[in-house]
Amino acid sequence: MKIVFIGDVVARAGRDALAKYLPEVRSELNPDVVIVNGENAAHGIGINEKICKEFFDLGVDVITLGNHAWDQREVIPYIEREQRLVRPLNYPAQTPGKGSYIHTLRDGRKIMVINAMARLFMDPLDDPFGQVDQLVSAHKMGKTVHAIFLDFHGEATSEKMAMAHYMDGKISAVVGTHTHIPTADAQILPKGTALQCDAGMTGDYNSVIGMNINTPIMRFTRKFSIEKLSPAEGDGTMCGTYIETDDATGLAKEIRAIRRGPRLSNQ
């Protein structure tokens, strides 16, 4: 199975970059499934129904979220009825939405997409390791599903690497989101699980993780700011990850970074 995952889409610049470069990537890589993290898509915080529908119209199959899942309150009733919009698995059980979704391809193959949130330097949610392991234990790759993909939304690369090693051989891939900077560690672990600690953001990289530069600098240098963070609005760069798996085992055969746009090297 060919999987394309696009990292944190940030505001208008990110949405425009996704609309511009995703068709190019689809033509080049011919993916079976496209997954997008959209938790920053609405002006840099959260997502709404209108943007989700725009992404689905672009050919996105599943949208994952993170710690900004609820910043746009109108998404709450929408996530209850739209299974393709997936929030972190380890929120409390009564939280709206679901933490995973099984997407069926036209040829009948199935991929389970899981979203989980890390805990180090993040909100104190339930244990993501135990939650992911328990969910995965009910499925057999190559049997009930042909691939299992985890978007692990977290601050610390150590926690994301630990998750990948913990699940090595049990799922197809662990790709991190949240830090908005693509890491150069795309690899396949010894038992066959693909790992990249962060796919990077899709947005304007002439910024501070997608936000206009002045306000973050003021916060760092003066410890206060009179302005709220606002998203940068220059030309966006799309970052993500391409993974190919073996349908018989669900394990990874290839992983490589995707970069399209006016900034960053190795585009």
Length of the chain: 267
- Read out DSSP for 44-66? TS---HHHHHHHHHTT--EEE--
> Which residues make beta-bridge pairs with 191?
none
Secondary structure (3-state) at 163: helix
Between CA 40 and CA 202 the distance in angstroms is: 10
Residue partners of 247: CB distance under 8 A and separation at least 6: 1, 109, 142, 146, 147
Active site residue 139: no
Alpha carbon 236 to its chain centroid, in Å, reads: 17
Among 43, 68, 103, 139, the one annotated catalytic: 68
Give the catalytic positions in this structure.
Answer: 68
